């Protein structure tokens, strides 16, 4: 399989950034090219450059595909989802509309715990079917790699089952999946009166079982007042490292949780949400090389008007990624293009910075920066083809799907 994609109006290459996450000022450097073409051989990017140059190197077996003036971007990388769950929480949406806070709903046994009940009783086939449908939506929206967290089981068997679902779906659909164990997502009702015993269960029973099962690569914790303390989060992430799981953390989503300090201390791969992070937290994370994964669709849906201070984070030279946070509670969406719009409007990112955050930096946030996220020769031929006149048009024309084709490892998926 050898082909060249030609007649590309604008191409986002993300070239020239080496192997490291792209920080601060450099995030706007997406390597935008007009009149360039790209050659793919056996699912891998072979070469990229001015069209005449790429075409002159072809041989008789090279197929030419005319993209008719569309845009080409690296496939979106989705670095933070909670996709394996059953049912929905549409019934709670009204409570939120009445002003009941997210953590209050959780404290009353709803929220995450409502989804835990639905997930525990769903069974593997139903979970797979519902997750596959969400992945299909992501694929149609131009996402080619997806991180997925457990965390709606909160008992060892169901946590392992969620990770098993990820593994089986990896075999049955084309997107690359990356699994994260997040047993510390909430304290389940059976440990309500003894939350420390649940932390012990995560450390002493779940983490060894997850390592033995061998599916998850990362460990994540919801560090938030009333959920898991900074001390417990640190204990869990340290234990995760001992079980070969790289640390990630949900930090400062609803208040200054202390999570960004823990992220810096443990040199987490990424810290997620950061809606309330203070400047010191930003500085510590920048210093420690923690990638900030921002989830502005969650801010949008929580509707408190609080957004992460992305511009400050860039000033402090952090590397930022973007994600949908797809989950049934705080962010019921699979739409990365919508996230780009919200990121530009409310995080004040430029279209270039937002695209970098949803491609190359998102890949780094899930340990895939060497494989995807840019058009460097040798990387996987994962592209999204957009029917739009310019990259600026993508966030501007919001809440629509501009995708006309998606390539995964050189295979057109639509």
- Residues near Fe ion (CB under 5 A): 325
Pairing of strands 63-74, 383-386: antiparallel
- The pair of three-digit structure tokens given for residue 148, joined into one six-digit string: 């997925």
In the shown chain, the binding pattern of residues 77 to 96 toward ligand NIG, with x for contact by CB under 6 A and - for none, equals -----x--------------
222 binds, among Fe ion, ligand NIG, none (CB under 5 to 8 A by kind): ligand NIG
Closer CB to ligand NIG, 111 or 410, in the complex: 111
The piece of 24-32, 37-45, 161-169, 320-328 that touches ligand NIG (CB under 6 A) is 320-328
Choose among ligand NIG, Fe ion, none what residue 230 binds, the Cβ cut-off being 5 to 8 Å by kind: none
Contact status: 115 vs ligand NIG (CB under 6 A): yes
Cβ 275 to ligand NIG shortest distance, Å: 10
User: Which CB atom, from 329 or from 410, has the smaller least distance to ligand NIG?
Assistant: 329
Whole-number minimum distance, CB 111 to ligand NIG, in Å?
Answer: 5
If 0-12 CB within 10 Å is exposed, 13-18 middle and 19+ buried, where does residue 377 land? middle
What is the C-alpha to C-alpha distance for residues 242 and 178, in angstroms, rounded to an integer? Answer: 19
CB nearer to ligand NIG: give 63 or 93.
93
Identify whether the C-beta of residue 322 lies closer than 8 Å to the C-beta of residue 296. Answer: yes
x/- binding map, residues 330-349, to ligand NIG, per CB under 6 A?
x-------------------
**253 touches ligand NIG by CB under 6 A:** yes
Nearest by Cα to 354 from 404, 313, 320, 386: 320
Using CB under 6 A as the binding criterion, the count of chain residues that bind ligand NIG stands at 13
Q: Give backbone dihedrals phi and psi of 130, rounded to 5 degrees, phi first.
A: -70, -35
Which of ligand NIG, Fe ion, none is residue 313 near (CB under 5 to 8 Å by kind)? none
Residue 192 near residue 199 (C-beta atoms within 8 A): no
> Which residues touch 230 (CB under 8 Å, ≥6 apart)?
223, 257, 258, 259, 261, 262
Considering only residues 276-305, where is the footprint of ligand NIG by CB under 6 A?
298
Residue 24 Rama label (left phi>0; alpha psi -120 to 50; beta): left
Q: Which is nearer to ligand NIG, 118 or 380 (CB)?
A: 118
315 Cβ partners below 8 Å, 6+ apart?
Answer: 24
Q: Which of 5-13, 38-46, 189-197, 322-330 is the region at the interface with ligand NIG (rule: CB under 6 A)?
A: 322-330
CB 9 within 8 A of CB 389: yes
The contact set with ligand NIG (CB under 6 A) reads 82, 111-112, 115, 222, 250, 253, 298, 325, 327-330
């Amino acid at each position: 399989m050898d082909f060249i994609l030609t007649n590309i109006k604008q191409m986002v290459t993300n070239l020239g950034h080496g192997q490291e996450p792209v920080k601060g000022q450099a995030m706007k450097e997406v390597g935008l090219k007009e009149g360039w073409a790209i050659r793919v051989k056996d699912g891998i990017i072979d070469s990229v450059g001015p069209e005449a140059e790429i075409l002159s190197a072809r041989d008789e077996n090279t197929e030419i595909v005319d993209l008719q003036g569309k845009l080409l971007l690296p496939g979106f990388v989705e670095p933070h989802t909670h996709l394996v769950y059953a049912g929905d929480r549409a019934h709670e949406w009204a409570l939120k509309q009445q002003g009941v806070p997210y953590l209050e709903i959780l404290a009353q046994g709803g929220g995450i715990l409502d989804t835990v009940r639905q997930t525990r009783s769903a069974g593997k086939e139903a979970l797979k079917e519902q997750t596959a449908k969400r992945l299909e939506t992501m694929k149609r929206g131009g996402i080619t790699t997806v991180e997925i967290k457990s965390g709606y089981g909160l008992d060892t068997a169901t946590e392992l089952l969620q990770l098993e679902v990820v593994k089986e779906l990896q075999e049955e659909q084309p997107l690359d999946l990356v699994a994260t164990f997040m047993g510390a997502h909430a304290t389940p009702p059976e440990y309500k009166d003894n939350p420390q015993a649940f932390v012990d269960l995560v450390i002493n029973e779940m983490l060894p079982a997850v390592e033995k099962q061998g599916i998850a690569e990362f460990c994540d914790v919801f560090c938030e007042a009333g959920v898991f303390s900074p001390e417990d989060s640190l204990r869990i992430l340290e234990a995760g490292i001992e079980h070969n799981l790289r640390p990630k953390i949900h930090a400062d989503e609803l208040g200054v949780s202390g999570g960004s300090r823990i992220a810096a201390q443990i040199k987490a791969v990424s810290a997620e949400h950061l809606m309330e992070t203070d400047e010191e937290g930003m500085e510590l994370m920048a210093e420690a090389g923690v990638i900030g994964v921002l989830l502005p669709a969650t801010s949008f849906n929580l509707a408190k008007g609080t957004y992460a201070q992305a511009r400050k984070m860039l000033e402090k030279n952090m590397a930022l990624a973007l994600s949908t946070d797809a989950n049934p509670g705080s962010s019921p969406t699979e739409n990365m293009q919508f996230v780009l719009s919200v990121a530009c409007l409310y995080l004040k990112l430029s279209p270039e910075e937002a695209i970098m955050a949803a491609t190359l930096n998102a890949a780094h946030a899930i340990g895939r920066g060497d494989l995807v996220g840019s058009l460097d020769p040798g990387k996987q031929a994962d592209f999204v083809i957009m029917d739009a006149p310019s990259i600026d048009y993508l966030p501007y024309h919001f809440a629509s799907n501009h995708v006309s084709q998606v390539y995964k490892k050189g295979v057109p998926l639509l």
